[in-house]
Structure 1
Amino acid sequence: MTSRHITQGDTRHGMVVGTASRSLGTWLYYVRPMPNPNVLQAVTNLACVPLRLLITGVLALLDLLTARASQRGEYLANAAAARAGSTEGAVGLMDRLMVTDSIVTTLHRETNSRRMRGSGRGGRHDADGLWEALAAHLDSVPEPEFERQRRVGALRGHSVDATHPPTHLRRRLLLNGAPASAAVTAGDSRTERVAGELAEVRGTLAREVVRDGYGNL
């Protein structure tokens, strides 16, 4: 991820600015207020206020100065993704990111139902088919819902996070350019090998999600 940002000219992930930003973030973590403090900790919290304000201010200034380069890097990364996986694939991924709320809802429902089924078997939770259920939910989302989400996203300025440009602008830029075909493809045999290599990890993660809950991971 970092190398991708550096390649696209995102100075936030460069040697100087990136190191400074990570260092300031670490310092901010260490001077954060202690919860439920005793008298001595309350005094320490108060003494650290000027330092926290200083670090927060410098981080905000770094973000402001590098915002344009960061967003340019994201647009270039989108173009690279379209060249690798096709314009259709890159745009389709953006559309799916707009329905993440429904994915989270489905994940909670699936994990809860599996916990209830497992409560009668000595507390063993059945995690089989969890990821397939999420994939099936995504496949079931109709095109009108994606279109509605795109309109809402354009009105509200939907963005993956604060460092990404608005999703509808990223999508429009790709669609306004020449359509790109996928330069990287995987045949059935390679897809099966990848699935085989990930099978154990997928199963372990599914069991942890069902056991501990999505919000606790």
Structure 2
Amino acid sequence: MPRTTDGDGVPVPQRLLAAATRLFAGQGYDRTSVQEIVEAAGVTKGALYHYFGSKEDLLQEIYARMLRLQQDRLDGFADAEAPVERRLRDAAADVVVTTIENLDDAAIFQRSMHQLSPEKNKQVRAERRRYHERFRALVEEGQAAGVFSTATPADLVVDYHFGSVHHLPTWYRADGPLTPQEIADHLADLLLRALRP
């Protein structure tokens, strides 16, 4: 049975994910070998195959962990006792901040999702769709209440915002003039302005 932690107490699955994320982001999924991942993580191939069935499973988990984080946070905003404008704005800003905080994960997903098997690709798309549907429900709630304009269908509103979010890995720089929160605030405010009746 492989060790569950290293000498520093870091669980082996987290070590493997951290190493794979660094390598996939730096040199690409297809150009990274299992051997490079296990060497970078300081574990054996047996440990990798114990926790993840394959390199592809690592790729899937890199994106799935970010999506789980974002889904949990979105659920919290959506379920809050606050006006729908506040809940949507908070959710819209949060997805920008959490994407920037996990920029390597987002970039890997954009570049490498097509390399997942059809079954894994379908699973990831279903999880992402669930997120987008919950976000869309906030838009629809505001539209039904007359708080948001109905001139643009809710689906297009969601696509508009997430087009910006999915594009972050191509232009965001940590040394840029705006902080992640400032970028998030600008994009969330743009969304709310577009929805004004």
Please give the TM-score of this superposition, normalised by the length of structure 1: 0.26
The structure with the larger Rg is: 1
